[in-house]
Structure 1
Amino acid sequence: MHHAIYAQVLVSLASSVLLVALFRRLQLPTILAYLVVGLFMGQLGLEFFAPDSNAHIIAEIGVVFMLFTLGLEFSVPRVIAMRRQVLGLGSLQVALCGLVFFIAVSLFAVPWAVALVIAAALAMSSTAIVTKQLDEQNEINHRHGLLSIATLLFQDMAAVPFLILVPILAHPEPELIASTMSIALVKGTLAFLVIIAVGKWFLPRLFQEVAASHSNELFVMTSLTVALVASWFTQWLGLSMALGAFLAGMLLAESQFKHQIETEIRPFRDILLGLFFITIGSLIDLQTLLDHWLLITGLLIGFMLSKLLIVLSIATMMKEKFEDAFKASLILAQAGELGFVLIGIARQQNIIGDKIASIVLAVGVLSMFISPFLIRYSDQINRRLFSLKLHSRQQSSSKHLISEAVKDLNQHVIICGFGRNGQTIKRFLDKLDIASVVLDLDPVRVKEARTAGEAIFFGDATRRSILHAAGINQSRLVVVTFDNKKSTMDLLSSTRNFYPHIPVMVRTKDESNLESFLHNGASQVIPESLESCLMLVGQVMYTLGLPLRKIIDEIQKVRDDRYHLLQSFFHGASSDLMRVLENHHERLHAVVLNGNAHAIGEPISRIQLPERIYIEAIKRGATSYTPPSRHMILQMGDIVLLSGEPDCIERAENTLLSG
């Protein structure tokens, strides 16, 4: 028995590794890879993935961790500020979707209790899919992301009375329904107050003590325990596990431990979320799909279109921008995991028959298959359908405002992006009375900054017309502060082709795109990670009393050499391996020429090293030759310092030692 379960877990894990790697290579959403794995596991009838197995319980912990980390993004003041979206958009979405789906299902001549359960289930959207996909796309804090998250928060709260109501529908009694719902309300209020109290007075002190122990292991265990205890508490009260996890994360959002907690939980969250999506995929019954494919296809199209139109109508009615409203409607146009729970409970209570439940589950899971594509390509879909009219109107309005503002400016600076770096640059330029204009695509940030009197405008800096409106011909510098490779390359293409005389300075997080940006027209690329090293070196040299001119010259030499000196480093046990592999950081590796090493007696020029491998230095006794002459003959005992990409270092060492 245990060997069979182990084999099933091994097969699902190996399949996930292969498919996730394939889907990432094809630039497809990784959620789909897990759903496909689940589809095959379900058809094989594996015991581990049976609907009543422990795998489903374990998988729900992934959703708990997802909601906990999501809560870390939303502090209490921020959630209070979002109350209009949560209570407005969220409540209207659940109410209208429930009403429309109830009427639609009733047309199939099913009992009202069945119609109510199905309507409530289909009104829910997938918190797991939406949050994971938005997180991958870094869009949680965009306006459409905030609208979607606000709606999901209300859905999680609205699911509580539905979860209580479904068992009662098996034996409906008006008095019982009223009393049970009243008790649920009391429990919800109690859960909220208890978690608020614990989060405000106990959790900060707990993490302070744990951090003082300097034990990474203890910090990880504490983070996991807090998330699980909060979810267990709300489940014990008969509420949603996800709700408790979100509240706990939300209360830690303003603590100094926020980022460390999120970092420690992320690996557990991602793995268990993968298992969750596998279990969702295993719910699909291919036989049901084949037997009722026409009905299921029609229901799927009708369901997703109805939900999309309802969310779009509510959001536009609430005076949201059409673009944000449309993207939010695409993001929420799928069934959710809480809906599956409702269907499962109704199935156990014999409210819904197996055939109807299978069809509803098939529609829901298929909508979840489609959803990652809709979320990923929501911007392209919006542009294709509506941008010709709306986008041009918005851009022309922006261009007019920008042109009016810069018509009297000359030799100004154009700042593209108004995050922390953009705002810091602007403040220094203002102090020096150097005129500047800012372009940003975050409407909330633009509104806040304009209210504060900043010269900032909503505009896409990658578009030539916007740059022209910003007076790029009369400007003295363009500074790119956003961290998006594609957008940066688009902007560089415009400036190189139409404004080659204007210098463009680009900020990046590291050196991974340094060469490509310089090749495509950037005048200067500033990698944050390397510049922070230079700042530290400069401060060390200054503290040691070296002349300021000498310090500046040494640092400038490194910059002129495109940071080559800083791109190689010794990797230790604590190095972030995933970051190293992902960014292809060069590394340093020392090779000692002992015994019968092939390279002994050979000049450096005759040693055929792999491409992208360099000999940085030769250390011979107490003397270091940096850089060594190509004619230098290697001797026994020499220490050869190699520099290059990790996958080439081993081959270079074999060449030196074995030939």
Structure 2
Amino acid sequence: MDEIKRLIWNPEAVHGAPIEDILVFLVAAVLVAPLFSRLRFSQVLGYLAAGALIGPFGFALISDIEGTRALAEFGIIFLLFAIGLELSFERLRAMRRLVFGLGAAQVIVSGLAIAGVCLALGFEMAAALVIGGTLALSSTAFVIQLLNERGEFATRHGRAAFATLLFQDLAVVPLLVIVPLLSAPSEGSILLGLAVAIVKPAIALVLIVLAGRLLLRPLYRVMAAVRSREVFTAMTLLVVLGIGGATQMAGLSMALGAFLAGLLISESEFRHQVEADIEPFRNMLLGLFFMTVGMAIDLGTAFDNLAALLLVVGCLIGLKMAILFVLARLFGLTSVAGLRVAALLCQGGEFAFVILAVAVNAQVISPEISQALFLIVATSMALTPLVTLLAGRLAEKLDTTEELTLGDVDEDIHELSDHIIIGGYGRFGRIIARLLDARAIPTVALDMDAVTVSEARAAGRVVYYGDAGRPEVLRLIGAERARGLVLTLDNYRSLPDVV
């Protein structure tokens, strides 16, 4: 390994030279992304592999590891900002049962279950609670990237997974406050710290939302009047980092602040231009983040203890999947959707690295235990694409009409003929429906977003929750009697299946 490293790179020549680090990352990304795409593997897995090779446990081609990790965190920030742009406060309000119900239940039950296992293995109570709370979290960056790659963000299981991740991000703050208190625990100090950790950020969030609603739209109008793309993009970067910095000062993560910024801008007429402006930053920095996670994988230690590592990671994944599946069913998801959610959220998360570092500084856990947990979390992340792939294939076999059905179809649908079926009731779907209404042509629409369907039906539209790519669903709405089918799906990969 050392000889190969000397042939490829001269460490003395690059020490303290960040530009070389950036070149290494760019070369790795350019080589890995097309290769894994051609092999039909997730690009996330490719970035992890590249990070493991160029990191300190591989060829050690990176000189400033901590600086690189700090830069990579912006990938998560821009990812959460983009997600906020796709949502709205109304949709988020409609998801509150999943966020504060399923999300809270998952963190509490998974955390206590993992802590119980640690106690049974001989860990002290404080260490067991830290490990349980840490491993209960999942990776926001990994899961959302996988959902985006597969066009599943708007599905029932995609929304449930995102709602759970959103609560997990909120739970990080209380965890970071409680961990140092566990080093010298007293009931009063823990309760006081927890109260402060909840009340202070809550007040900050309310103030940020109120200020954002008052100021953002006028500011963007001023910037748009300048008619300069550079100024407009600079304004967007200022908003993302400014609101992110405000939430960080309140004790929350910058990523959560960026998500709030996206929600605020999503209600304005500037959202589409903003989304186009930040996309290059998001994709590039997110790839960098995944490579920095791969850099934490000690390949030598992993191979030396491969059997034990896979056993522990397998137990973690199995335990979290079992808990998530049961909770998903209790909160109204089907078996198929529950299985997909469980597979998506079975890994450890990026916040584990932050919480474990705090725990080591507070002497709640030892550095050796922390390093072992680092490896477990990173390995579980690396296995996530494979787990979701296997779970997806199993779900396809189980899924006859269970997950994506129309429910009770209205009686008049059975008598409807010469109508137009609209596959996808987003913005373009609604425009087409209005145009057909003007010509007195009846329509029946299908959409995979339960909130969209609910809103449309409340407005008197004939819209059902269902997959336009499934023949049995189309038969239920009289496809054999329809005049035609119009497709306005967001996921272009689904179009061949529908046709």
- Does 2:236 correspond to 1:229? no
Q: Which moved more, 1:440-449 or 1:10-19?
A: 440-449
Kindly state the Cα deviation for residue 71 of structure 1 after the two structures are TM-superposed: 2.0
Mapped partners of 1:235, 1:436: distance in 2: 48
Structure 2 counterpart of 1:266, one-letter code: E
Which structure 2 residues correspond to residues 104-123 of structure 1 after superposition, within 5 A? Answer: 104-123=117-136
Partner of 1:419: 426
Which structure 2 residues correspond to residues 532-551 of structure 1 after superposition, within 5 A? Answer: none
| Percent identity over paired residues | 37
Partner of 2:287: 274
Kindly state the Cα deviation for residue 451 of structure 1 after the two structures are TM-superposed: 5.0
Verify the 8 A CA contact 1:98 1:120 in the aligned structure 2: yes
Verify the 8 A CA contact 1:114 1:351 in the aligned structure 2: yes
Mapped partners of 2:407, 2:71: distance in 1: 53
Verify the 8 A CA contact 1:41 1:49 in the aligned structure 2: no
Give per-residue Cα distances to partners, 1:484-517, cap 9 Å, x unaligned. Answer: 555443444xxxxxxxxxxxxxxxxxxxxxxxxx
Partner of 1:210: 223
Partner of 1:489: 496
Mapped partners of 1:241, 1:393: distance in 2: 39
Structure 2 counterpart of 1:257, one-letter code: F
Match of 2:330 among 293, 314, 317: 317
User: Tell me, which stretches of 5 or more residues in structure 1 are unaligned?
Assistant: 493-659
Structure 2 counterpart of 1:187, one-letter code: K
Mapped partners of 1:218, 1:435: distance in 2: 46
Partner of 1:31: 44
Kindly state the Cα deviation for residue 458 of structure 1 after the two structures are TM-superposed: 4.7
Verify the 8 A CA contact 1:133 1:376 in the aligned structure 2: no
Match of 1:340 among 353, 378, 381: 353
Give per-residue Cα distances to partners, 1:559-603, cap 9 Å, x unaligned. Answer: xxxxxxxxxxxxxxxxxxxxxxxxxxxxxxxxxxxxxxxxxxxxx
Instruction: Name the CA shift for 1:19/1:191 in 2 (closer, same or farther; >3 Å).
Output: same
Secondary structure of 2:63's partner?
helix
Secondary structure of 2:121's partner?
coil
Structure 2 counterpart of 1:244, one-letter code: G
Structure 1 counterpart of 2:286, one-letter code: L
Partner of 1:185: 198
Kindly state the Cα deviation for residue 103 of structure 1 after the two structures are TM-superposed: 0.2
Mapped partners of 1:430, 1:167: distance in 2: 62
Kindly state the Cα deviation for residue 56 of structure 1 after the two structures are TM-superposed: 1.3
- Does 2:490 correspond to 1:477? no
Mapped partners of 1:398, 1:195: distance in 2: 40
* Structure number having the greater strand percentage: 1
Give the TM-score normalised by structure 1: 0.68
Partner of 1:45: 60
Kindly state the Cα deviation for residue 142 of structure 1 after the two structures are TM-superposed: 2.2
Secondary structure of 2:316's partner?
helix
Give the TM-score normalised by structure 2: 0.88
Give per-residue Cα distances to partners, 1:13-61, cap 9 Å, x unaligned. Answer: 21221001111222221111111111112222345354xx211111112
Kindly state the Cα deviation for residue 151 of structure 1 after the two structures are TM-superposed: 1.0
Partner of 2:7: none
Structure 2 counterpart of 1:489, one-letter code: P
Q: CA RMSD in A?
A: 2.8
Partner of 1:96: 109
User: Bigger radius of gyration, 1 or 2?
Assistant: 1
Kindly state the Cα deviation for residue 406 of structure 1 after the two structures are TM-superposed: 5.1
Match of 2:183 among 166, 170, 182: 170
Partner of 1:137: 150
Verify the 8 A CA contact 2:94 2:451 in the aligned structure 1: no
Mapped partners of 2:73, 2:242: distance in 1: 14
Kindly state the Cα deviation for residue 146 of structure 1 after the two structures are TM-superposed: 1.6
Mapped partners of 2:444, 2:430: distance in 1: 11
Secondary structure of 2:282's partner?
helix
Instruction: Name the CA shift for 1:474/1:3 in 2 (closer, same or farther; >3 Å).
Output: closer
Kindly state the Cα deviation for residue 310 of structure 1 after the two structures are TM-superposed: 1.2
Mapped partners of 1:12, 1:394: distance in 2: 41
Secondary structure of 1:125's partner?
coil
Aligned length: 484
Verify the 8 A CA contact 1:399 1:466 in the aligned structure 2: no
Partner of 1:308: 321
* Structure number having the greater helix percentage: 2
Kindly state the Cα deviation for residue 128 of structure 1 after the two structures are TM-superposed: 0.9
Verify the 8 A CA contact 2:54 2:62 in the aligned structure 1: no
Verify the 8 A CA contact 1:440 1:456 in the aligned structure 2: yes
Partner of 1:363: 376
Verify the 8 A CA contact 2:91 2:451 in the aligned structure 1: no
Mapped partners of 2:341, 2:306: distance in 1: 28
Structure 2 counterpart of 1:142, one-letter code: T
Mapped partners of 2:202, 2:127: distance in 1: 29
Partner of 1:154: 167
Match of 2:208 among 181, 195, 198: 195
Mapped partners of 1:451, 1:459: distance in 2: 17
Partner of 1:643: none
Mapped partners of 2:448, 2:94: distance in 1: 21
Mapped partners of 2:492, 2:246: distance in 1: 44
- Does 2:20 correspond to 1:7? yes
Partner of 1:18: 31
Give per-residue Cα distances to partners, 1:256-310, cap 9 Å, x unaligned. Answer: 2222222212211221221111111111112321333222211111111111121
Mapped partners of 2:274, 2:284: distance in 1: 17
Kindly state the Cα deviation for residue 372 of structure 1 after the two structures are TM-superposed: 2.9
Kindly state the Cα deviation for residue 430 of structure 1 after the two structures are TM-superposed: 4.0
Structure 2 counterpart of 1:35, one-letter code: L
Q: Which moved more, 1:214-223 or 1:342-351?
A: 342-351
